[in-house]
Structure 1
Amino acid sequence: MDKSRIFKSLFGVALLSSVSFLASAQKPNWQNLDLKTDTTFGISTEKAYKELLKGKKPTKVIVAVNDGGVEATHEDLKSIMWVNKKEVAGNGKDDDKNGYIDDINGWNFIGGPKESINYETLELTRLVRRDQDRFANTTDANVAEKDKADFEAFKKARTDLEKQLGEAKANLAGYAGFKNALDGVVKKIGKDNPTLEDFQNFKPATDVEGRIQNALSGALKEMSFKDFYNDEIMEGYDHFKQQVDYNLNVDYNPRSIVGDDPNNSKEKFYGNNDVAGPDAMHGTHVAGIIAADRTNKLGISGVANSVVIMGVRCTPNGDERDKDVANGIRYAVDNGAKVINMSFGKAYSWDKAVVNEAMKYAAAKDVLIVQAAGNENKDIDVETNYPNHKDLDEKTIASWITVGASGPKDDESLKASFSNFGKTQVDVFAPGVRIYSTVPGSKYKNLDGTSMASPVVAGLAGLIRSYYPKLSAAQVKEIIVKSVTKVNHNVTYAKGEGPAAEKVSVPFSDLCISGGIVNAYEALKLAATYK
């Protein structure tokens, strides 16, 4: 999951902050509420169930969660997990002859015979590692004519990697400094879990202690100290440590765990059947947004009430490999998925052609793909983000939706501060701020990102396909885009980074093709008119 929010460090570097630190609490299930009746800019799912779907019988639809892992045993997901009835669990045989042994709930393309990959490098890191030996003794003066384009790409990638690694190291140092200073203040207070009042009554002895006091006095109005420490400080520290140790480290390469040939994009039969993997936080949260059991009176209610979730693990904590993405798409299609959610993306691509071919395969098989736009607050009409629409034909695009993230208020803050956008590359926006959903251990948590907005739309797509099964994937996309709630006002966001960032105000219609937020009520009404 991308981390995008920041607050000012006490030590001169940017520190991450979730929306929970900056914003007041939202209404539970807000993504499914209605703007008019609930004064919250959800997608009107509950209104649709109450007024349009009551008494109607849906058909089951498979929605694949192509992600970092799904906890199939979660209390709010176990009843809605896809089960491959053609496979005999645990017998070590490929009973259905699909090439994947014991794939009961899905498949893990980043697992091997003994374990699964957790951390991975970025695609950028892999590209630099691939080319650094090739160009070890190459300069602008001696580069061969035939190698000039590749050499320029390598130099650009190496510079980008060095920049990102330097920033990650600085942020890691900032988090470590903040943590150490905070630990010192807590030790002086003498309580493991101090309250807001404890920090307000604390007498700082240094300037740093005074700034710690001010920071915590604001934070603890919104959350407990334990939540702040774990969710803000330790998550941020762990995030940047992961970047330094794994994501941006050219010497780190865990692929031997899988046992495949990572350079052979035609290879399909590898991996294992552990759909959770070592870290199922992200994918489990995504699955709950789509379809958490609406009948068990536990936890939360997903968008769709008649879909089953297929777990396809293809994204590690780092950048996904194109080979795994393509195979994940093909696996989902071949095993009956009608919607695939892909809450991931990256700035570089190793073999985009193999992903594009898989996209075309899905389109040919009438499968709708829903993809997160990304969390870098960038215009992806201009900035590269893979996969993307740019080099695919209209037929493929007709069954592929890219989703930006919106907040709960119908005002200038409607665009989530972190969300990517693009007037030609992003189709719609959907709720993606402080979305409460399932996480491992049969627990629940607020997360934010376009990773959360995408499954809102995937859930809606699954809902439409379950009540109107004769509609094609292209028609479902058309319905979702046409039925948005149009936003007829400006929104603001920061253009640029750091102190030089400029606050700009633009019409919301400049951010995406549809110019609006998806609406389940209007989509289902429109679907009923299609023949």
Structure 2
Amino acid sequence: MSFFPRPWLATLGFALILPAAASAQQVAAPAAAPAPVQWTHLDPLKDRTMGISTQRAYDELLKNRIPTAVVVAVIDSGVDTAHVDLKRVLWTNPREIPGNGKDDDGNGYVDDIHGWSFLGGKDGRNVDVDTYEETRLVAKLKPLYEGKSRTSVPAAKREEYDLYQRVKKDYDKKVAEETKQLQELGPMGEQLQSITSQLKQVLGVERLDTAVLRKPPVSNPQLLALTSQLYGSLLASGQPDMESVVKQIQQAATEGKKHLDYSLNLQYNPRTIVGDDEDNTKDRNYGNNDVTGPDALHGTHVAGIIAADRQNNIGVQGVAGAPVQIMAVRAVPNGDEHDKDVANAIRYATDNGAAIINMSFGKYYSPHREAVDEAIRYAGSKGVLLVHAAGNESNNIDEVTHYPAPVAPKATAAYPNFLTVGASASTNDEHLAADFSNYGKRVEVFAPGVGIYSTLPGSTYGNESGTSMAAPTVAGMAAVLKSYFPSLSAVELKRILMASAQPVHTKVLKPGAKKPVDFSTLSSTGGVVNLYRAVELATQAQAGSAAKGGAAAGK
């Protein structure tokens, strides 16, 4: 999988070349001021920003209620357990003695203090970059079917032959896309860095942020045209300054090279680090206790969205406050996750007390889907809600399945404990639906996922965009509801979260198509989740249950 979409690539491209001649008429006036740093928490009515009304819910509805402890598992790339805004909210296994090299609680995992990694070896090594599922399938099937016609293959093998033809086409497409993108990213990063440095010198500023670009201290038409374009690009990307964009482009180039060198390399097999049989989905006792791993950027950002410390007056605030805790389960490499690891991560989180599991990952092939489906059902039997990112490819997932799938094979209704989330932006206009977000009736709700400011490794912070950011927003909401209304089941949590997303009929640009559609048509609820409304609904549900209980007692 690619963790983050890159919506800024298209928006920045036109701004990379300083125009030779620009008239004052070419200067585009900014449509609006930049969104506040943590716009997610704002209220659509009071703040005119499409947030989830976090602060309003706490201030008006929850202030006299007492929360209870809830554990949210983050199945991801890893979490920086030393982060100043996360270390106080980490789940700690109460039955495990740190560092004694023993499985004190007998759960099959040694020294699993804050969670477990299914991407590590017993010798302490860890998988960083892994292959895509398309790469693994092509490597497996190519020796069997390359150069053969369908009629030459035994009838019993033709379904697998057809799979190879599909996956080979997708693999070749990925190679072409990654190659082209890498060729673009290098020059783009260099050119943008040069322009940023020159502009900072001309404008006499140390940082090229939205405030400077919105009202630059110049009258030169060429410079005004360029700064206006860059300002618009920042708004579209959700980044605070051009320095952050340059850094992200450089990181993307590094990531792209890794994908070509490793993720798309048919001979590369990092699974030897783990030392297991990846096709044996019944095997559960492998990995190590390094829940941070070699690259915890994605998981750390996700964890902060859910429950970054709301009481320490540092950095950012998560959606959920204490005593909500984060359990780190590492199962998502830079590349595609293995079905076996996903299934085991769900089971580990469920067996060790998680009430909610966030899953900000996905792919389009799932060779061991049955293992993941069994784990989803297992979590459901234990009352655990799974919140899943819809994906970042602008696809209609009613037409192309994005795994883990929200619907079981041959079923028509979604899993009752599985909620799929698309990404929305801060403004209620044509850009409300994130351009990269997957959509369709199998997407149940939308949530903030553009320019989301959260925790990053090394006790730092930054903006990221993706359905990977939208899912933890909803997982955080679920944690708030479960914390203040502990009797709510996973099914009830899903129902309330969906009901909180009231239909929005704004005409928006359809993701990937640029044609106007009604926002309400892009998901089954047609709306953006709202914590204030969800707490109202939970309060009503609690009152209804109390009334029924009283009536039953009086009979």
Q: Given the two structures, how large is their TM-score scaled by the length of structure 2? A: 0.85
Q: What letter corresponds to residue 449 of structure 2 in structure 1?
A: G
Aligned to 2:390: 373
Query: 1:77 corresponds to which letter in structure 2?
Result: L
> What secondary structure is seen at the aligned counterpart in 2 of 1:25?
coil
Q: Is the Cα contact below 8 Å between 1:402 and 1:427 reproduced in 2?
A: yes
Does the residue aligned with 1:444 lie in a helix, a strand or coil?
strand
- Given that residues 68 and 279 in structure 1 are in contact (C-alpha distance below 8 angstroms), is that contact kept between their aligned partners in structure 2? yes
Q: Percent identity?
A: 45
Structure 2 residue aligned with 1:292: 308
Closer, same or farther in 2 for the Cα pair 1:359/1:195, shift >3 Å?
A: closer
Contact 1:108–1:274 (8 Å) recurs in 2: yes
- Alpha carbons 1:33, 1:43 under 8 Å: kept: yes
Q: Residue 406 of structure 2 contacts residue 419 of structure 2 at CA under 8 Å; is this kept in 1?
A: no
**Aligned 8 A contact 1:376 1:420 in 2:** yes
Query: What secondary structure, in the 3-state scheme, does the structure 1 residue paired with 2:75 have?
Result: strand
Please state if 1:282 is matched with 2:282: no
- Report the counterpart of residue 431 of structure 1 in structure 2: 448
User: SS of the counterpart of 1:94?
Assistant: coil
Q: State the match for 2:142 in structure 1.
A: 132
Q: 1:213 to 1:120 in 2, by over 3 A?
A: farther
SS in 2 for 1:517: coil
**Change in 2 beyond 3 A, CA 1:228/1:482:** closer
Letter of the aligned partner of 1:298 in structure 2? Answer: I
Instruction: Tell me the equivalent position of 2:432.
Output: 414
Tell me the alpha carbon deviations over residues 176-219 of structure 1, each in whole angstroms, 9 at most, x when there is no partner. 3334556777999998x98779xx99xxxxxxxxx999878843
**SS of residue paired to 1:38:** coil
Partner of 1:243: 259
Correspondence 1:397 to 2:408: no
Displacement of 1:413: 1.5
Residue in structure 2 matching 1:472, options 468, 489, 509? 489
Query: d(CA) in 2 for partners of 1:45 and 1:190?
Result: 37
1:509 pairs with one of 512, 517, 520: 520
Match for residue 175 of structure 2 among 134, 150, 165 = 165
* Cα gap change, 1:42 to 1:242, in 2 (>3 Å): same
SS in 1 for 2:61: helix
CA distance in 2, matches of 1:220, 1:440: 27
Q: 1:83 aligns with which of 89, 92, 107?
A: 92
CA contact (8 A) 1:484 1:516 kept: yes
State the secondary structure of the residue aligned to 1:35.
coil
Name the residue aligned to 1:313: 330
Secondary structure of 2:455's match?
Answer: strand
Equivalences, count:
505
Give the whole-Å Cα distance in 1 for the aligned partners of 2:454 and 2:471: 14
The alignment yields a C-alpha RMSD, in angstroms, of 2.9
1:67 to 56, 67, 76: 76
Q: CA deviation at 1:517?
A: 0.8
Tell me the distance in 2 between the aligned counterparts of 1:519 and 1:369.
Answer: 18
2:36 match:
27
Pairing partner for 2:463 from 446, 467, 492: 446
User: Which of 534, 538, 554 pairs up with 1:523?
Assistant: 534
Contact 1:340–1:370 (Cα < 8 Å) also in 2 = yes
Asked whether the equivalents of residues 403 and 429 of structure 1 are also in contact (C-alpha less than 8 Å), the reply is: yes
For the residues of structure 2 that align with 1:262 and 1:23, how far apart are their CA atoms?
Answer: 51
The alpha carbon displacement at 1:435 in A equals 0.6
Alignment correspondent of 2:60: 51
Write the distance in 1 (CA, Å) between the matches of 2:69 and 2:280: 36
1:115 and 2:115 matched: no
Q: Which amino acid aligns with 1:165?
A: V
1:331 alignment partner in structure 2:
348
Inter-CA distance 162–475: structure 2 relative to 1 (3 Å threshold): same
1:269 alignment counterpart = 285
Bigger mean CA deviation after superposition, 314-323 or 181-190: 181-190
* Separation in structure 2 between the aligned mates of residue 188 and residue 58 of structure 1, nearest angstrom: 52
**Would the aligned equivalents of 1:4 and 1:375 in 2 still touch at CA under 8 Å?**
no
Q: Output the amino acid matched with 1:2.
A: F
- Report the equivalent of 1:230: 247
Classify 1:52/1:214 alpha carbon distance in 2 versus 1 (closer, same or farther; 3 Å): closer
Equivalent pair of 2:192/2:246 in contact (CA under 8 Å): no
Task: For 1:292, give the aligned amino acid.
Answer: A
Q: 1:333 to 1:394 in 2, by over 3 A?
A: farther
**Shift of residue 408 of structure 1?**
0.8
Query: What residue ranges of structure 1 are gaps of 5+ in the alignment?
Result: 14-20, 202-210, 496-501
Describe the shift of the 1:46–1:394 C-alpha distance in structure 2 as closer, same or farther (beyond 3 A): farther
Give the 3 Å change call, closer, same or farther, for CA 56–216 of structure 1 in structure 2: same
Alignment partner of 1:528: what SS?
helix
In the aligned structure 2, how far is the partner of 1:131 from the partner of 1:212? 55
| C-alpha distance in structure 2 between counterparts of 1:300 and 1:367, whole Å | 27
Letter in 2 for 1:454: A
**CA 215–156 in structure 1, closer or farther in 2 if over 3 Å, else same:** farther
For residues 414 and 112 of structure 2, the distance between their equivalents in structure 1, rounded to whole angstroms, comes to: 28
> Quick one: which amino acid aligns to residue 337 of structure 2?
E
Any idea what the Cα deviations from partners look like across 1:307-357, whole Å, max 9, x if unmatched?
100000000011100000000000000000000000011011110000000
* Deviation larger for 235-244 or 159-168: 235-244
C-alpha contact (below 8 Å) 1:186/1:194 kept by paired residues: no
Partner of 1:284: helix, strand, or coil?
helix
- Give the conservation status (yes or no) of the 8 Å contact 2:78–2:329: yes
Q: Which amino acid aligns with 1:303?
A: V
- Given that 1:9 and 1:174 are in contact with CA atoms closer than 8 Å, whether structure 2 keeps it comes out as no
SS in 2 for 1:107: strand
- Partners of 1:351 and 1:179 lie apart in 2 by 39
1:43–1:521 CA contact under 8 A, matched in 2: yes
